[in-house]
Amino acid sequence: MSSRIIPVQPFDYVVFGATGDLTKRKLLPALYHRFKDGQFDEQSRIIGVSRSTLTDAEFRKAARDSITQFVEKEYQDEKVIDRFISTLSYVSNDVNDEKKWGDIKGLRDDPKVVRAFYLAIAPDLFGPTCEYIKKKGYYRRDARVVIEKPLGHDLASSEQINDEVSKIFKEDQVYRIDHYLGKETVQNLLALRFANILFEPIWNSAHIDHVQITVAESVGAGTRGYYDESGALRDMIQNHIIQLLCLVALEPPASDAANALRDEKLKVLRSLKPITNADVAKCTVRGQYRAGSVDGAAVVGYQDELPEDKKGSRTETFVALKAEIENWRWAGVPFYIRTGKRLVSRASEIVIQFRSIPHSMFDHAEGAPRPNRLVIRIQPDEGVKLLMMIKDPGPGGMRLREVPLNLSFAQTFTERTPEAYERLLLDVIRGSQTLFMRRDELEAAWMWVDPIREAWDAATDAPQPHTAGTWGPTGAIALIERDGRTWHEDGH
């Protein structure tokens, strides 16, 4: 595997929010893995910034604890950890209070050293942090800034956040991160479509009946502080799932350049048929889980997880949508989307349901021909499966049987697959924006989502209740079955 590792330039990575959960669980373990694989070495520096008062030694100890806790034991190497920890330093700093501004020591002026700022902090601090970077003289025209979601709660607030960031950083310096786009299977969707001639000629309304996108979680939501202010529509649909829809539906880009891909995604977003107030009742379903059982264990309902002042919340923990793309390729092909907490299992997948054969010659066969399905499994058990019809072996007549052509990533690729953040963190250093959202993409997504949110807020009905450990409320089943279709749930 080492021969496939391409080292990056030396860098100074400044991580604001260095003592936060994201840094502990994702960023530091991801950087450790890249260091361990030789993608960067001690020439690079990682500088943590937070309001907490820590010494360099205390921050390094906390980083070591994060690696011990969140990196698989088989990849923990004490000598490598020691070398990685040596690249870390810490600055105590409150960017929201100019009187408490600290100096970021160790930033190098060498143009060969990439300078990147990762804002793993609340969005309302993005503006003050960028202002701090500029006023303290840390801004360079070639510097990069990474901003985490949620980027606002609607179009107006998103524009305000982006306006504040853009006062300092130009669009080509801004990396809006969505970790879903860094997942190996998501990127393989592009390879599947555009590196093989097999699928592209039939990737259209003439051959595809409908598309399903499911992002299901078995964990609850009530203990996540910001979730009750966002809900499933903002937390999952507006960013992760719409990005998956774009990758399924986009036209072939002219190249793999960042803007070539993002231009095509933007065309899809602008082609989404608006779900207006009149359409919300028939095209959307929102739900909220009640007490039930997940993986054999009893779990409480969403309302029971909330603090007293949040009881009675109408925040949706489940959403199902029927989306349509109004262009030549996809006219008449519905995209059924669902996502939720406390569902049957953790599963993210895309199902391409092809049309039925126009005529069957197997009138007397046992088992009717079933339409082909392409199932792209994002997590867990990453892989690609094509369901097709064959003759069941043996004498005594024609017996048709559906079988999968199954590509399991775990079985095919024996080496460790890097996590999404590993790829995205170093794409920033490379200057590759392909897997990051452009501002006009983000705003187009909000423009489609906002009317749905507004219609729900104006409605008097609450989210439909459903039992934890099921696939959501009955309304989600009706959404797809009144079109004569059904949700794909094989293997869950």
pLDDT digits (tens, 9 = 90+) for 237-294: 998 899 999 999 999 999 888 899 999 999 999 999 999 888 998 999 999 999 998 8
d(CA 250, CA 190): 10
**What SS3 class is residue 148?**
coil
Query: What is the predicted pLDDT for the residue at 181?
Result: 87
426 contacts 394 by C-beta, under 8 angstroms? no
Kindly state the average pLDDT of the residues 450-462. 91
pLDDT digits (tens, 9 = 90+) for 77-129: 999 999 999 999 999 988 888 888 888 888 898 989 999 999 999 898 999 99
pLDDT digits (tens, 9 = 90+) for 151-193: 888 999 999 999 999 999 999 999 999 888 888 888 888 888 8
Look over the chain and give the mean of its residue pLDDT values, rounded to a whole number.
Answer: 89
168 contacts 139 by C-beta, under 8 angstroms? yes
**Residue 490 pLDDT > 70:** no
**Residue 14 pLDDT > 90:** yes
pLDDT band at 463 (very low <50, low <70, confident <90, very high): very high
130 contacts 136 by C-beta, under 8 angstroms? no
pLDDT band at 74 (very low <50, low <70, confident <90, very high): very high
Using a cut of 0.75, tell me whether the model's pTM lies above it.
yes
Nearest to 450 by CA among 226, 215, 272, 266: 272
**What SS3 class is residue 352?**
strand
Beta strands 400-408 and 383-391, pairing class: antiparallel
**Residue 1 pLDDT > 50:** no
301 contacts 222 by C-beta, under 8 angstroms? no
pLDDT band at 424 (very low <50, low <70, confident <90, very high): very high
Element (H, E) at 242: helix 242-249
pLDDT digits (tens, 9 = 90+) for 204-248: 999 999 999 999 998 888 665 578 788 899 989 998 899 999 999
Backbone angle region of 296, left / alpha / beta, with phi > 0 → left and psi within -120 to 50 → alpha: left
Element (H, E) at 285: strand 284-290
**Residue 134 pLDDT > 90:** yes
Which residues does the annotation mark as catalytic? 240
Query: What is the predicted pLDDT for the residue at 223?
Result: 62
Query: What is the predicted pLDDT for the residue at 405?
Result: 82
428 contacts 146 by C-beta, under 8 angstroms? yes
Kindly state the average pLDDT of the residues 463-490. 91
Kindly state the average pLDDT of the residues 323-337. 96
**Residue 492 pLDDT > 60:** no
**What SS3 class is residue 162?**
helix
pLDDT digits (tens, 9 = 90+) for 354-386: 998 787 767 666 667 788 899 988 888 888 888
pLDDT digits (tens, 9 = 90+) for 387-422: 887 777 776 667 777 777 877 766 667 677 788 899
